[in-house]
Amino acid sequence: MVASPSSKKVNMPAAARSGLVLLLLGALIVGLGSYFGRGGLSFYGLIIAVAGFLIYVITSIKRSRQNEKDYRSPK
């Protein structure tokens, strides 16, 4: 699917992008650890995935509060 020039691009902070990358990387490590029967690797991947999720959620909440505050302030 090709994006049209009039489509709006998502403006995502760098911290949110890195949180998503950590989430996906952790999920991949958990899957590989489960597949090969390595519990330690799965646990390590779980920690990475949870950290990535927390980074993404915290960044998203901060961004939405900042946008809400900017929206309310008179210009």
57 band by pLDDT with thresholds 50, 70 and 90: very high
**By residue range, what is the domain housing residue 58?**
14-69
Does residue 50 surpass a pLDDT of 90? yes
Q: Total domain count for the chain?
A: 1
22-61 as b/e, with b when 16 or more CB fall inside 10 Å?
A: bbeebbebbeebeeeeeeebbeebeebbeebbebbeebee
9 band by pLDDT with thresholds 50, 70 and 90: confident
Q: What is the pTM of this model?
A: 0.77
pLDDT of residue 1: 53
The DSSP result for 53-66, as a single string, is: HHHHHHHHHHHHHH
d(CA 1, CA 3): 7
Does residue 26 surpass a pLDDT of 90? yes
In a domain, 65, yes or no: yes
Residue that the structure tokens 């911290």 belong to: 15
In a domain, 6, yes or no: no
Does residue 72 surpass a pLDDT of 90? no
